[in-house]
Amino acid sequence: MARLQRADIRHMELEPLSAIEEPEDSAEAREVAKRTYAQSVAVTKDVVNSIRMGRTANLKKVKRAVQLVVDQVLNNETSIVGLTTIRDYDEYTFTHSVNVCIFSVALGKKLGLAKLQLYDLGLAALLHDIGKARIPIDVLNKTTGLDETEWTLMQRHPWFGTLTLFSSRRYEETPYRAILVAHEHHMKADLTGYPRPIRARQLGLYSRLVAVADGFDAATTRRSYQTIPIQPDEVLKEMWQNPRRGYDRVLVKALINLIGIYPVGTCVILDTLEVAVVAGPNPDPTVLNRPLVRIVIDVNGAVLPPPGLPADLAEGDGQGGFARSIVKVTDPARYGLVVGDCFV
């Protein structure tokens, strides 16, 4: 204050943040997000393939990829979260790990974790399924249900991940939290999951957080053997209401607050007869049921070029109502839509 007085500065005018901040959904932001996502997938693929071939994984590359994801979430969360809607079934093992990393970091940011904590969380999330590198590929990619022997083998991947990450400490520093998350992320909050603990334990925050991100992404990714896809809003409802799923309900509620009642990538029909894809939650937390969307099919039934026409469902109609409202959730495949096209 004294320095301001000496400089004879009597008042200051602050501009609104939105006036000086680069829009999150700009083309440049989307390009940066795409590069970050693609690099993270490539690094994850390299690590998994190295382990499959018995080589030592380069964790320094993983840490650099995680730092990019954290920076992207902190700077342009909407752009990077939107890319989790890109479902590459042939690359599922790798894209799933990257998606879980993005959701975990975004959720950690929502919970107020510091940047260094987000780095640790992101690393643990990206490596949470590393034990699957020791599962035969024909079991991982099986297009029908697993038999009892295969399911027993699949349930061992948390233990395989623990051994893999623990052994890597001989060469490079691996945070113990990452090892713990690899071991605990399927245990469930009530410890009824797998692997079964020998004695009572309290699951770590990162493990419970990654479990929520893992469960949401896995459930919203349609596999080749599924005939009816599960819509994102239904997944959130199941995670919140069904205690048998074993998720930390506080963290599920935080996830709902993060991505909204209608998560990013949800395809919806509006009362204007337009079809839209949810692009993000509304910045106003009092209208979580009115997300930001991209119109992909107009009132005349014409398909609009990607990424669609942006619209805010909280926008009024000038008569005390809303210009657009969601009527119901629909399957984008019915309209020949690829949700991921709205975010590339």
Q: Which of 112-116, 182-186, 277-281 has the lowest mean pLDDT?
A: 277-281
> Which pLDDT does position 19 carry in this prediction?
32
Q: Which residue has the higher pLDDT, 230 or 311?
A: 311
pLDDT in tens, 22-40: 344 567 878 888 899 999 9
> Which pLDDT does position 166 carry in this prediction?
86
> Which pLDDT does position 148 carry in this prediction?
92
Rounded to an integer, what distance in angstroms lies between the CA atom of residue 254 and that of residue 264? 15
Rounded to an integer, what distance in angstroms lies between the CA atom of residue 88 and that of residue 95? 7
> Which pLDDT does position 22 carry in this prediction?
38
> Which pLDDT does position 226 carry in this prediction?
55
What pLDDT band is residue 285 in, cutting at 50, 70 and 90?
A: confident
Query: Residue 112 is encoded by which pair of tokens?
Result: 């107020």
Q: Which residue has the higher pLDDT, 301 or 167?
A: 301
CATH class for the domain made up of 25-259: mainly alpha
Both ends of the chain: CA-CA distance in Å? 48
Q: What is the 3-state secondary structure (H, E, C) of the chain?
A: CHHHHHCCCCCCCCCCHHHHCCCCCCHHHHHHHHHHHHHHHHHHHHHHHHHHCCCCCCHHHHHHHHHHHHHHHHHHHHHHHHHHHCCCHHHHHHHHHHHHHHHHHHHHHHCCCCHHHHHHHHHHHHCCCHHHHHCCHHHHCCCCCCCHHHHHHHCCHHHHHHHHHHHHCCCCCCCHHHHHHHHHCCCCCCCCCCCCCCCCCCCCHHHHHHHHHHHHHHHHCCCCCCCCCCCHHHHHHHHHHCHHHCCCHHHHHHHHHHHCCCCCCCEEEECCCCEEEEEECCCCHHHCCCCEEEEEECCCCCECCCCCEEEECCCECCCCCECCCEEEECCHHHHCCCHHHHHC
> Which pLDDT does position 65 carry in this prediction?
95
Residue 14 has pLDDT above 50, yes or no: no
pLDDT in tens, 327-343: 999 989 899 998 888 88
Query: Residue 82 is encoded by which pair of tokens?
Result: 């939107």
pTM of the model: 0.85
Hey, which residues does 275 pair with through a beta bridge? Answer: 269, 297
Q: What percent of the chain has pLDDT over 70?
A: 88
17 half-sphere exposure, CB direction, 13 A CA radius: 1
> Which pLDDT does position 220 carry in this prediction?
85
pLDDT in tens, 133-166: 999 988 988 877 889 999 999 999 999 999 999 8
What pLDDT band is residue 175 in, cutting at 50, 70 and 90?
A: confident
Average pLDDT over residues 99-122: 96
What pLDDT band is residue 170 in, cutting at 50, 70 and 90?
A: low
Output the average pLDDT for the chain: 87
Max CA distance (Å), the chain? 79
pLDDT in tens, 214-268: 999 999 886 654 555 678 888 999 999 999 999 999 999 999 988 888 988 899 9
> Which pLDDT does position 79 carry in this prediction?
81
What's the CA angle centered on 306, arms 80 and 285, to 5 degrees? 50
> Which pLDDT does position 162 carry in this prediction?
93
Q: Where along the chain do the CATH 1.10.3210.10 domains lie?
A: 25-259
